[in-house]
Amino acid sequence: MRTPEELTELFRSSGRKVTAQRQCIFRVLQGDETHPSAEAVHAVVSREMETISLKTVYQTLHDLAELGEIASLDVGTGMTRFDPNVTDLHHHLVCRQCGSVRDLVAVFPELRIPEGADLGFDVGSAEIVFRGLCPECRAPAGRGRARARSST
């Protein structure tokens, strides 16, 4: 994803207006590597703009996705996740427990489909989801002072 300034430019030149809400969303997405859901984006943006509606967030996320500035992902956590990183070819690590999603920046060129195993599909891309436990969820809960941890 480009910088908020560049996005401002891009929105204008694509006939979209640049509002305070949108710029706030740009800023929030900027450098966010957590692959937030729309709700999560809304939660953060709301801290700065109390009255912004979830609707507006969805709309802006879709605009950004339409412009190719972010990607929307379905990694099986029940909500669409949004990814500002559209430049690095990468895959994803997904925590079975808390649903956190992180980038795994690595290319697997050896992902060749064995001859004849493709069942006639014209394959264009491959997405790998690595499932496991994130560092937070791995942490033994019972060591030292019990550390309260929210389930979200």
Q: Nearest approach, Cβ of 19 to DNA (angstroms)?
A: 4
Binding segment for its own copies among 12-20, 52-60, 62-70, 121-129 (CB under 8 A)? 121-129
Q: Which of 87, 126, 144, 151 binds its own copies (CB under 8 A)?
A: 126
Distance of CA 78 to CAs 23, 59, 73, 75, Å?
A: 27, 19, 11, 8
62 binds DNA (CB under 7 A): yes
114 binds its own copies (CB under 8 A): yes
141 binds its own copies (CB under 8 A): no
97 binds Zn ion (CB under 5 A): yes
Question: What is 59-102 written as a DSSP string?
Answer: HHHHHHHHTTSSEEE--SSSS-EEE---SS--EEEEETTT--EE
134 binds Zn ion (CB under 5 A): yes
Binding partner selected for residue 51 from its own copies, DNA, Mn ion, none, CB under the kind-specific 5 to 8 Å limit: DNA
Who's near 74: CB < 8 A, 6+ residues apart? Answer: 80, 81
